[in-house]
Amino acid sequence: MTHLIDRSVIDAHNARLQRDLDSDYAHLGEQLARRGIDIETVRAQVAAFGVAIPSWGVGTGGTRFARFPGQGEPRHVFDKLQDCGVIQQLARATPTVSLHIPWDKCSDWNELRQTASAYGLAFDAMNSNTFSDQKGQAHSYKYGSLTHTDAATRAQAVAHNLECIEIGQKLGSRALTVWVGDGSNFPGQQHFRRAFDRYLDSSAQIYAALPSDWRMFLEHKIAEPAFYSTVIQDWGSSFLAAQALGPKAQCLVDLGHHAPNVNIELIVARLIAAGKLAGFHFNDSKYGDDDLDAGSVSPYRLFLVFNELVAAAHEGVPFEPAYMLDQSHNVTDPIESLMTSAAQVLRTYAQALLVDRQALDAAQDGNDAMTATHLLKQGFQTDVTPILQRVRLDAGGAIDPVGAYRASGYRQRVAGERPAVVGGSGGIV
């Protein structure tokens, strides 16, 4: 296994923190024992939990107004993988990477797979891109891709998705995530029902090409880049499509893709019950598809999503959600944001595991809202930091990943290797 960060840096860092961790962990164990919870069981569950990193997440993101690159921006998929390797080495919560085609195209997929393996990384869902044009592309996606009125453009978009599957098979991926921005900016521009039919038709061709052990994740979004209507605008449309396609098609939930005020955890429950929950793109949002760091603005909302997941698992509901971070890191070092966000996801999972499900059942049955909600809060208010730290430490990572990362000088090192990127305007000009 390739060590991207010198072990001695991590060890020295951990050494300074371990005494406090031991004290905190012991006291937390005592507290949890009073509630009838074995901290070791929780720790084992958290240790087994992983969330994927999107390859594009390690580069600095931007808006339509501008992008402000940082130092040492990754130049290609190998640089991106290396950054993901650092994240996994320190934070031990992100064992897989999700690629985006064509952004991550390379000449030797076998080499890529071996490189990943050396970093302790495997490949999660593949992501296709039919929301922007690539150089030399025969047909433009200006007016749509899988739903375009022109058959040749749809065929091109389908073919691109098939290529993503093909690449994914070489890398050991087992899922294809399909997000299309197709929609319209003017009332009347698009025939709603026909566009949806074209979506189903194109998607069926992709579905037909799925290997038997693959799944197809349909991702809905209320708006952007289309600002009047979007073809797969909500979970209802996503569900209709997934149902039409077949059992391997499921609905992916991105936390920032909903209308204001929508109760996302309730949608998650519906999709679980319908056997159609594909998984998640984790991030946080205050205004729209803000792609902020997971749990950075609404940590309790994230907890309520995990509460649904843990409850379903507790009740033996069969489901297998895929977890990925999907964030835009505009003002932070992406590596720091991704380590912190992965930890936030694990923190939230751990907190949801602490909820007394039996007592909750009783409170719900008895309509004791006060007790029921207190049981959730009790989990959420518990500071599970010691569990997270211990999981990382046990796995060879850093008790404090950001601290160790800063101490390592990794960013400065790659800034010397990778040429500076000039910022500029975003999509508007």
What residues numbered 284-343 form the site for its own copies, per CB under 8 A? Answer: 285-288, 290-293, 296-301, 304, 307-308, 311-312, 317, 328, 330-333, 336-337, 340
Nearest distance from residue 35's CB to its own copies, in Å? 11
Q: Does 273 bind its own copies (CB under 8 A)?
A: yes
Closest CB to its own copies among residues 40, 227: 227
CA 257 to chain centre: 13
Q: Does 223 bind its own copies (CB under 8 A)?
A: yes
Which of helix, strand or coil describes residue 24? helix
Quick one: which segment of 170-178, 191-199, 205-213, 318-326 binds its own copies (CB under 8 A)? 191-199
Q: Does 32 bind its own copies (CB under 8 A)?
A: no
Taking alpha carbons only, the member of 212, 217, 256 closest to residue 127 is 217
Closest CB to its own copies among residues 29, 211: 29
Nearest distance from residue 103's CB to its own copies, in Å? 6
Q: What is the DSSP string of 116-151?
A: HHHTT-EE--EE---SS--TT-SS--TT-STT-SSH
Q: Establish whether the linkage from the previous residue to 225 is cis, with ω within 30° of 0.
A: yes
Q: In the range 75-94, which residues lie near its own copies by CB under 8 A?
A: none
Pairing of strands 249-254, 215-219: parallel
List the x/- string, 340-369, binding to its own copies by CB under 8 A: x------x------------xx-xxxxx-x
Identified binder of its own copies from the candidate list 374, 395, 407, 418, rule CB under 8 A: 374
Quick one: which segment of 3-11, 126-134, 157-165, 407-415 binds its own copies (CB under 8 A)? 126-134
Distances (CA, A) of 162 to 76, 145, 203, 250, 278: 22, 14, 11, 18, 19
Nearest distance from residue 344's CB to its own copies, in Å? 9
Q: Does 35 bind its own copies (CB under 8 A)?
A: no
> What residues contact residue 22 under an 8 Å CB cut-off, 6+ apart?
none
Which residues are paired to 144 by β-bridges?
none
Exposure letters 372-394 (e unless 16+ CB within 10 A, then b): beebbeebbebebbbbbbbbbbe
Identified binder of its own copies from the candidate list 274, 313, 395, 407, rule CB under 8 A: 274
Closest CB to its own copies among residues 169, 385: 385
How far apart CA 127 and CA 269 sit, in angstroms, is 25
Q: In the range 166-185, which residues lie near its own copies by CB under 8 A?
A: 181, 184-185
Identified binder of its own copies from the candidate list 172, 247, 419, 426, rule CB under 8 A: 426
Quick one: which segment of 77-85, 112-120, 194-202, 408-416 binds its own copies (CB under 8 A)? 194-202
Neighbours of 60 (CB within 10 A): 21
Q: Does 201 bind its own copies (CB under 8 A)?
A: no
Distances (CA, A) of 183 to 215, 242, 346, 350, 358: 24, 18, 35, 39, 46
Neighbours of 247 (CB within 10 A): 10
Identified binder of its own copies from the candidate list 3, 105, 174, 270, rule CB under 8 A: 270
Quick one: which segment of 119-127, 154-162, 201-209, 216-224 binds its own copies (CB under 8 A)? 216-224
List the x/- string, 7-26, binding to its own copies by CB under 8 A: -------------x--xx--
Closest CB to its own copies among residues 210, 255: 255
> What residues contact residue 112 under an 8 Å CB cut-off, 6+ apart?
77, 78, 81, 106, 171
Number of residues engaging its own copies in binding (CB under 8 A):
128
Q: What are φ and ψ of residue 115, in 5° steps?
A: -60, -45
Q: Does 423 bind its own copies (CB under 8 A)?
A: yes
Q: Does 424 bind its own copies (CB under 8 A)?
A: yes
Taking alpha carbons only, the member of 128, 115, 126, 47 closest to residue 84 is 115
Nearest distance from residue 390's CB to its own copies, in Å? 16
